Amino acid sequence: MNTSALRIGFAGTPDFAACHLEVLINAGYNILGVYTQPDRPAGRGKQAKPSPVKTLALASNLLVFQPQSLKSEEAQKQLQELNLDVLVVVAYGLILPQAILDLPHFGCINVHASLLPRWRGAAPIERALLAGDEKTGITIMQMDAGLDTGDMLLSKTTPIKVDDNSASLTARLTSIGKDALLDVLTQIQSGSLSPQTQDNKLNTYASKLSKEEALISWNKNAKEIQRQINAFYPRSPAYCFYNGQRLRIIQASTQNEALSIKTGTIVQVNQGGIKVACNNSCLLIKKIQLPGKAEINIKDFLNGRRDYFSPGKIFSSTPALD
């Protein structure tokens, strides 16, 4: 099939989007323009930094557009002049008004990281982990004016493993999404699409994660806390307080043992991890990060600071010393 015959535009911003742009480039698609959000201040110097999509697009000699909004007549005329067959949208971060949705010959399609209609919205990967879902996936959707409400063109599923975090699950969904996107573009060219209407009764909303949600409450069950740790890593790791300091917990596993002691109490410390009492269960902390320090597994930490953690001491949800 002649991939260069399809006139494509691409709209996306983060790494997840850049990976999908890359697969289109490598497949030889005719990409006439790339849309991404304006450069944002980043790092200690707060210097304007291009998005991963912009960096890749410029390196591939593609035309880049960075409008503040797509609601202006100027932005809409700009897109119209590209005379697109399809606009591929992946984690763009800007609203596409109806005037934009109507411009490409085959409309706008979106790569969404959930099995729609579950987890419509901004944080589907993290919300699936937090909820303890057993599976998730990628949905390629025909975009309409609603929030992830358009007809489903293709879905691919993957199980969520007990030790999956946001990083590992994103990597797997990226791989699935790239294959799914290529499949749908092939179907567009061959005229073989079979759109499926979403069941709105099954809708759930994936709101952005807040920093407040990253604070661990030791009154929860260990499985809930582990899901919290997995969902927030690596963007904003889950945390608690120990010795008055904020302590990020990077990796942990659960144990079903129920103990009649205050939740948050350290039960045991050895090179296998720090065992902490939770609600009718225990959490085994395997990797941590102290303020200003790199992530470190417990075995290596104890080799240098053997007495820092000790049984009977408390992990807290407040900075006050216990």
Beta strands in 18-169 (DSSP E): 30-35, 40-42, 47-49, 64-65, 86-90, 108-112, 120-121, 135-142, 152-159
Handedness of CA 55, 56, 61, 65 (dihedral sign): negative
User: What are residue 138's DSSP bridge partners?
Assistant: 156
Is there a contact between 109 and 184 (Cβ–Cβ < 8 Å)?
yes
The annotation status of 67 as a binding-site residue, yes or no, is no
Is there a contact between 105 and 85 (Cβ–Cβ < 8 Å)?
yes
The annotation status of 311 as a binding-site residue, yes or no, is no
User: Token pair for residue 168?
Assistant: 């590992």
Is there a contact between 239 and 280 (Cβ–Cβ < 8 Å)?
no
The annotation status of 117 as a binding-site residue, yes or no, is yes
User: Token pair for residue 317?
Assistant: 């949800």
Is there a contact between 122 and 97 (Cβ–Cβ < 8 Å)?
no
The annotation status of 32 as a binding-site residue, yes or no, is no
| Residues 183, 173: Cα–Cα separation, whole Å | 15
Q: Return binding residues.
A: 114-117
Q: Return binding residues for (6S)-5,6,7,8-tetrahydrofolate.
A: 114-117
